[in-house]
Amino acid sequence: MSTSTQMDIHEILEYLPHRYPFLLIDRVLSCDPGKEIVALKNVSSNEPFFGGHFPHYPVMPGVLIVEAMAQAAAILSFKTSGTKPDDKTVCYFVGIDGAPFKKPVSAGDQLIFKVKLIRNLRGMWKFSAVAEVDGQVVTEAELMTTGRAL
């Protein structure tokens, strides 16, 4: 039987090796191991990428939105397997399919990531992921990750 749980930034830091400025998940709203995770990122005007992408009309780079979806997927894979990463393991983002960018993301937006587990076969995880702002899809993709011992 699975349970849906929330996670604050302190617990997220236990599941992701990323740190500022590359940690892109602020909170997990719900996590149902083996099924799905819903996470969020508050997009702030002081994000380091806004100074150069694009100064006249700051937009969050699409690649970072996809990376944030992959970070949510990594948390879901660890929660599903009942493990936490350590200094001898890493979860790699190894593939992406079909990632159209439908709407720009700007300072003040709150990104909601909805990631569902499609399958886990011999350590290869596949997910469907959607990023939304105010209920509108900004991008979606199928993501693949794998864990490796160092």
Q: Which residues are catalytic?
A: 53
Question: In sequence order, which residues have a C-beta less than 8 Å from that of residue 82 and are 6 or more positions away?
Answer: 33
> What is the rounded distance in angstroms from the CA atom of residue 90 to the CA atom of residue 42?
25
- 27 neighbors 4 (Cβ within 8 angstroms): no
Q: Count CB-CB contacts under 10 A for residue 124.
A: 13
Taking every pair of C-alpha atoms in the chain, what is the biggest distance, in angstroms?
50
> What is the rounded distance in angstroms from the CA atom of residue 10 to the CA atom of residue 19?
12
Show the tokens assigned to 135: 């209920």
